[in-house]
Amino acid sequence: MVAKPRYFSQAIGNALAVLETLQGSGSPLTLSEVTSRTKLPKSSAFRILRTLEITGYAERVDGDRFRLGDKGSGSFLAKLATSITAAAATPMRQLGREFRETVSLAILFNSHIEVAAVVESPQRVRMGNVVGGLIPPHASSLGKCVTAFQPDEDRDRLIRSYGVMKMTEKTITEELLLHRELELVRARGYATDLEESAMDGCCLAAPIMSRDGKVVAAISISMPKMRFKNRERLIAAVRDAAAEITKGMAKRSP
């Protein structure tokens, strides 16, 4: 057996092992799963999980499963956001140059979706976006794209956190219709915003995945309705850009 370094705290080491296990999992874990992965006694793992839950570093979902809480995921999400933004820089510029329209990147942060980067259209009449702005999960193409691919509980939490407000006469606010819309997004692999968040504004978005296959972000191209033409080419270009970012993510940390 390898001796532990002097002043090593086994209790803190065990807690960090549990945090790293939750961080590395693509879905919430049961106590048994945490125990199996960390090789800790069940009683020790439970005490650590309960302590992390009380202090906000972990949270309990679905009754008996655990995942990172806001405190535990903050550093990880910050690193992930940096990685996504770096991987997206070149594809966003290329998309903007080809179509001369506004290109945006949005990232999932626990209970909200936030704009992380924007390449503005050079045209006088254009659709805009603001870095740091919150994205409606039910109305914008970026929001619908990220929301559609989340587990049921996370999807519902995103929608509840923002609210289902009517932004234009075309915004989908009825629960059943929104559910069908998100199913359609999952089925075809991209989302649309056809004057649903702003009148005369149209947008297409495609999902970006982390290394574990979870949708963590989306890229979109937005334009005034009068220039929303050649839709099939736009869809293909946005999906290609999302795929390139996803591929770039696989080469980066975390």
What are the residue ranges spanned by the domains of the chain? Answer: 10-68, 72-249
Would you state the pLDDT for residue 127?
92
- Order across the sheet with 58-61: list the strands: 29-30, 65-68, 58-61
**Stronger pLDDT, 36 or 254, i.e. the higher one:** 36
Across the strands, what pairs with 242? Answer: none
Across the strands, what pairs with 133? Answer: none
| CB 45 within 8 Å of CB 18 | yes
Q: Which CATH number fits domain 10-68: 3.40.350.10, 1.20.120.1200, 1.10.10.10, 2.40.50.140?
A: 1.10.10.10
The DSSP line for 96-159 is: HHHH-SEEEEEEEETTEEEEEEEE---SSS-----TT-B--TTTSHHHHHHHHTS-HHHHHHHH
CA distances from 189 to 11, 32, 148, 205 (A): 45, 34, 10, 9
How many contiguous H segments (helices) and E segments (strands) does the chain have?
Answer: 8, 8
Helix (H, G, I), strand (E, B) or coil at 21: helix
Asked whether residue 73 carries a pLDDT value surpassing 70, the answer given is no
pLDDT tier, 82 (very low <50, low <70, confident <90, very high otherwise): confident
Q: What angle do CA 162, 168, 171 make, to 5 degrees?
A: 60
Asked whether residue 253 carries a pLDDT value surpassing 60, the answer given is no
- Candidates 166, 128, 167, 161; CA nearest to 146 is 161
Q: Taking residues 5-11, report their average pLDDT.
A: 63
Fold of the domain spanning 72-249: Beta-Lactamase (3.30.450)
Q: Taking residues 46-65, report their average pLDDT.
A: 85
How far apart are alpha carbons 69 and 55 in whole angstroms? Answer: 9
How far apart are alpha carbons 8 and 62 in whole angstroms? Answer: 35
The pLDDT tens digits of the residues spanning 99-154 come to: 999 999 999 887 789 898 999 999 999 998 888 888 999 999 999 999 999 988 88
pLDDT tier, 74 (very low <50, low <70, confident <90, very high otherwise): low
